[in-house]
Structures are given as structure tokens and as C-alpha cells.
Amino acid sequence: MSGTELKTDDPQLATENASKADATEKPQNKKNWYILKVQVNREEPIKRSLERRIDVAGLKEYFGEILVPTEKVTEIRGEKKRIIRRKLYPGYMMIHMEINDETWFLVRETAGVGDFTGAAGKPTPMQPHEVHRMLALEVEDPKSSPQLKVGYQVGEKIKVKEGTFESYEGVVDAIDLTSGRVTVILNLFGRSTPVELEYWQIEKNPV
């Protein structure tokens, strides 16, 4: 028997060895957020197709979320108001993934996907502040009111199509994105007069 024995029942040593083993076996998180160019108006079907292909290929460990960046807006048609989600960047989506030969090929070979954004054909990860801003838009804030989907701009010529001032022509002076009311300048009795109207009471004046 040798003069020195290795103590294997030392709890502290066992804990340290286990920690080292865990650190060695645990794979590092190499995922980053990337921007994908995809076919316009097919963002959601392409997203679902990607998710199915990832699942079938057994590569879920290399992927995180896939997002089509949107924002809440209020749309008014006729006199009806509804809340919808509008795509912020048509033709683009965000994908959280680790780039390797398998994952790159899977994404690029998905129907409707164009390419990753980047220089010289190399995918470029999004900057942390870009990721933070885009993810913040996806979080629902119960205290915030959705903004109105506005087809007009201040200074644009309009024509009143309904109400007391029907057929009058004027210019957009201000827009309330929360209530959907628009202040327009109309020529009443020879004077420029601000009048507040509902969003649906006016239309663009082609003249």
C-alpha cells in the first residue's frame, strides 16, 4: 500500500469535481438574434414553415424564438373601430439561433426565405439595443392605448365625405392617434376655421 492515499470521500472535493464536470458538459449558449429577409405578405406562413422544419430536423436546441415584429394600431373602417397588429417591417423577421452548417442550410432552404442580413454573405447578429427595442414592442402593456392607423399626414388636403360639412375641402391640421379625431382647417364664411371631425368622416382629396 502506498504511503499516500487519494481521498475520494471528501464532500468538498466531490462538489468541486461535479462542478467542473457540469461546466465541461454543459454546452455554451451561442445563439444570437438575426434578421431574415423573406417574401412580403408571407411572413407568418414562412415562420410556421420554419418552426415545422426545425422540429422535424431535430434541431430545436439550436433555435429560440422566431418573431414577425408588429405593433398594435387602431383601424377604423366606416364607423367601426378595431385593434389590429401591423407588421413593422414587411418582408423581414427576427430569428434567435445558433449559426452552423446545419442550421444555416435549414433556414436558407425554407421556401420564401431570401437571406440573412449581413455583409459579404455573412449573417450579422443584431446589436443588443436593437433586440431590446424590437422585443419591447412585442410585450403587451395593459396601460398603453394602441395608436391609430392613420392614412393622413398633417398638411395633407382632404375632403369631408360625411356629416354637417360634407363636400367641404380642407387641410389636416392635427391628428389624435388615440381617439381617432382629426382637426381640419375648412373655409367657412370666408374664414379659415379649425373643425374637429371623426377619422372616418374625411377622405383624401385627389385634387
Interval 22-48: pLDDT, tens: 544 444 568 999 999 999 989 999 999
HSE on the CB side for 172, CA within 13 Å? 22
Res. 49: pLDDT tops 90 = yes
| Average model confidence (pLDDT) across the chain | 79
User: With contact defined as beta carbons under 8 Å apart, do 86 and 70 qualify?
Assistant: yes
Structural domain containing residue 54: 32-148
Q: How confident is the model at residue 153 (pLDDT cuts 50, 70, 90)?
A: confident
- Are residue 161 and residue 139 in the same domain, yes or no? no
Q: Is residue 50 part of a domain?
A: yes
Global pTM?
Answer: 0.56
pLDDT, greater one: 76 or 173: 173
- Are residue 100 and residue 83 in the same domain, yes or no? yes
Q: What is the DSSP string of 175-192?
A: E-TTT-EEEEEEEETTEE
Q: Indicate which CATH number applies to the domain containing 70.
A: 3.30.70.940
Structurally, how many domains does the chain consist of?
2
Res. 173: pLDDT tops 70 = yes
